[in-house]
Amino acid sequence: MAGRVSLSLLNSLVRGNVIFRSKKCLRKSVVLISRFNARSVSSSSSSSISAAQPDLSSHLAGKTYADLYDLSVRDPKTFWGSIAKERLAWTKPFDQVTDCDLSSGKINWFLGGQLNVSVNCLDVHVAKDPDRVALIWEKDEPGTEERITYRELLEMTCRLANTLKSYGVQRGERVAIYMPVSPMAVAAMLACARIGAIHTVVFAGFSSEALAGRIQDAQCKIVITSNQGVRGGRIFDLKSTVDNAVKSCPSVRHVFVAKRTNESVPMGKLDISLDEVMVGQSPVCAPEPMDSEEMLFMLYTSGSTGKPKGIVHTQAGYLLYASLTHQYVFDYTPGDVFGCVADIGWITGHSYVVYGPLCNGATSVLFESTPVYPNPGRYWETVQRLRINQFYGAPTAIRLLLKYEENWVKKYDRSSLKTLASVGEPINHEAWEWFHNVVGDGRCPLVDTWWQTETGGVCIAPLPAEPGAEIRPAMAMRPFFGIQPALLGEKGQIITGNDVSGALCISKPWPGMARTIFGDHQRFVDAYFKPYQGQYFTGDGAYRTEDGYYQITGRMDDVINISGHRLGTAEIEDALVRKFIYHKLNNSVFKFIYHKQHNSVFLRFLFQIVLSKTFCLHNKYWSIYIYIYVCVCVLCICLCI
């Protein structure tokens, strides 16, 4: 067991001294180690690189990742309590670090404390450096980016918060946000946090039926949307989707409509022009002191039963975990430009576009476009123009870009990059090596992150780590502070040793984990804590290598993961049945096909095609074409299995 860590060491961590900080990607070479790994899911060969880690500063000499990790799981009260006191701005200090019981789904952190998330993300930085850039809005058309300072974002947030208050929004009420990636969407999230309202962001590509289901479940009284969205050179309507959704949502009192384009849209009796009413509001709004365990937001994710789950995250624990993982997993240092290209409608956008970066005072990129608009060099042209230091994207996008010539990457200057990272699904070896060697020139650590909507932030990743530690391709590898992974067998027994596989669980609670499913705590307990008593069950399988590293092997339930967007087979069946009224596809077909892991990449592509069409179908002729397409694909797959 590693030695005990002094509080002076811990205080260095909580004050933001980055113990495992890299020196701008100066590691020299990639050491390829040909090694046959019969248990590897992705490839029979394995590569390793030296992790870009510095020597520790003199007063931390000899104190390692292992020391801090050991403290975090052995004495979580000391570890998390000290960090929370120093990193977050509290209105009222907490008097109890934790009170948790995983067997009953009871999770509480920083009890007795009060704070406001928007203050931690905005006011504290405005007080120090008001003109620091908070957001760079990389709009759909290249070269039209807009920069928003922390002072400007605070003013926008306060005006929007005062607008919500003037229309009767109260603490604890739910607000649905159905918007494209934009500063106004971020301000809407922070405005809710400022006044104690609970936001639920719905991905702006979902259908009116999906939106309505989420509004109904959350009993939202307010919807905030935009007139239109712009993506990939195309304009798509959002307002009409909201109009159709709220027809079946009697709880909705008002719909605020922001202008993304100059196109006018029909306005009904519920509709209010957000831009117009915000102008008359004060740019100052007193923040509401919130208890640590009050709800911050709910985000819907899919389960195998069909009905999406409203995953609840609370104030202090979530914010602390998002900010800490943002700093240490991605090697963020003050002044960096952090480029996470996720949509804010997903947890990745919540944690690593909005809350984590802003809590750390970072400059965060809002990416509105697609990887291939106007050409396959869009990501890398953006990196060059904005001087992005960390780039965080999905393996699906990387695989998409693989088919294009390397010149689309190499023609742009990527010397600003320090860290590359992937999210949403396991990255295969080919994509990993292309991402690392072509995009990163073999000099930047590539961090394959594993986490979920329910975990709040990254749980397993190659960084942080010891100085000089290897990073293996296509492998999440190491648990973050406070995360204690366990592999369990079919009978619920803990599988010990290395070179073993099992159901991935986490044995101890951590501050960033979800607290409940909105309105159905028993479902929360049944889904995550009942399968393996006293453990948080992730729903994923994992392999622990001979060296003790973790590799994710895929879902163990009837949930399909597409770029981190989890969709239940029952949801897919329901969508197909609603669109294709002629026949009903059997749920067992999806289950049978999906569990064949050697077809996972092909299936991921298939379902992405099917679902992207299904979500936006409004034409019965398209429905017929897609129905025929699905039938042919299912037949082909069954013949191949």
**What CATH code is carried by the domain that includes residue 194?**
3.40.50.980
Domain contains 621 = yes
How far is it, in rounded angstroms, from Cα 147 to Cα 153? 10
Mean pLDDT of 485-494: 96
Distance in angstroms (rounded) separating the CA atoms of residues 7 and 170: 41
Pair (233, 334) in one structural domain: no
Q: Is the pLDDT of residue 86 over 60?
A: yes
- Residue 264 resides in a domain: yes
223 Cβ partners below 8 Å, 6+ apart? 175, 176, 177, 178, 215, 242, 245, 246, 252, 254, 255, 256
Closest CA to 312 of 132, 516, 165, 483: 516
C-alpha–C-alpha distance, residues 400 and 404, integer Å: 8
pLDDT by residue (tens digit) across 490-503?
999 999 999 999 99
pLDDT value at position 232?
A: 96
Amino acid at 154: L
Vertex 318: Cα angle to 316 and 323 (nearest 5): 95
- In this structure, are residues 53 and 20 in contact, taking their beta carbons and an 8 Å threshold? yes
- Out of 39-43, 217-221, 600-604, pick the least confident: 39-43
- 76 & 208 share domain: no
Among 277-291, 313-327, 369-383, 558-572, name the one with the lowest average pLDDT.
558-572
pLDDT given at position 626: 54
- Looking at per-residue pLDDT, the higher value among 432 and 35 belongs to 432
The number of distinct structural domains making up the chain is 3
The pLDDT, as a whole number, for residue 40 is 36
At residue 598, the pLDDT reads 33
Q: In which band, very low, low, confident or very high, does the pLDDT at 630 lie, cut at 50, 70 and 90?
A: low
The answer on pLDDT for 439 being more than 60 is: yes
Domain holding 313, by residue range, is: 7-116+306-485
Say if residue 280 is in the same domain as residue 333: no
Looking at the predicted structure, is the pLDDT value of residue 61 above 80?
no
Task: Please give the Cα distance from 349 to 355 (Å, whole number).
Answer: 9
Q: Which residues neighbour 417 within 8 Å (Cβ) at sequence distance 6 or greater?
A: 25, 383, 388, 389, 390, 391, 439, 440, 444
pLDDT at 554: 87
User: Do 448 and 311 reside in the same domain of the chain?
Assistant: yes
Does residue 388 share a domain with residue 277? no
Confidence of residue 386 (pLDDT cuts 50, 70, 90): very high
284 and 315 part of one domain: no
User: What band does 427 get if pLDDT is binned at 50, 70 and 90?
Assistant: very high
pLDDT (average), residues 499-510: 98
Q: pLDDT confidence of 574, banded at 50, 70, 90?
A: very low
Specify if 61 maps to a domain.
yes
pLDDT above 80 for 119: yes
Residue 32 pLDDT > 50 = no
Tens of pLDDT, residue by residue over 402-424, are 999 999 999 999 999 999 999 98
Tell me whether residue 503 is in a domain: no
Q: What is the mean pLDDT of residues 72-98?
A: 96
pLDDT in tens, 87-113: 999 999 999 999 999 999 999 999 999
pLDDT at site 51: 41
Does one domain contain both 597 and 635?
yes
**Confidence tier at 302 by pLDDT (50, 70, 90):** confident
User: Among the three residues 485, 515, 545, which one is the final residue of a domain in this structure?
Assistant: 485
Same domain, 205 and 233: yes
| Segments in 38-107 forming alpha helices (H) | 65-74, 76-87
Share of the chain above pLDDT 90, in %: 74
Give pLDDT tens digits for 245-298.
Answer: 999 999 999 999 999 999 999 999 999 999 999 999 999 999 999 999 999 999
CATH number of the domain enclosing 37 = 3.40.50.12780
Mean predicted lDDT score pLDDT of the chain = 84
Domain boundary among 465, 485, 505: 485
Region for 273 from its dihedrals, namely left if φ exceeds 0, alpha if ψ lies in -120 to 50, beta otherwise? beta
Instruction: Please determine, for residue 566, whether its predicted confidence score (pLDDT) is greater than 70.
Output: no
Alpha carbon dihedral 499, 501, 507, 512, in 10-degree steps, equals 100
212, 246 Cβ separation under 8 angstroms: yes
Q: Is residue 606 part of a domain?
A: yes
Is 301 part of any domain?
no
> Confidence band (pLDDT; 50, 70, 90) for 583?
very low
* End residue of a domain, out of 456, 485, 514: 485
What percent of the chain stands above pLDDT 70?
76
**Strand-pair partners of 550:** 477, 544
**pLDDT band at residue 628 under the 50/70/90 scheme:** low
Q: Is residue 543 part of a domain?
A: no
Q: pLDDT-based confidence at 33, cuts 50/70/90? A: very low
Tokens of 88: 């977050």
Do 272 and 312 belong together in one domain? Answer: no
Q: Which of 250-259, 421-430, 485-494, 570-579 has the lowest mean pLDDT?
A: 570-579
pLDDT tier at 486 (50, 70, 90 boundaries)? very high
Asked if residue 369 and residue 326 are part of one domain, the reply reads yes
Say if residue 80 is in the same domain as residue 166: no
Q: How confident is the model at residue 308 (pLDDT cuts 50, 70, 90)?
A: confident
Residue 79 to residue 96: CA distance in whole angstroms: 13
| 273 lies in the same domain as 340 | no
Strands 516-517 and 309-314: antiparallel
Tokens of 247: 């027809």
Residue 355 has a pLDDT of: 99
Helical spans, DSSP H, in 465-599: 521-528, 569-579, 587-594
Is 562 a domain residue?
Answer: yes
DSSP-assigned beta bridge partners for residue 114: 92, 291
The pLDDT score that the predictor gives to residue 22 is 37
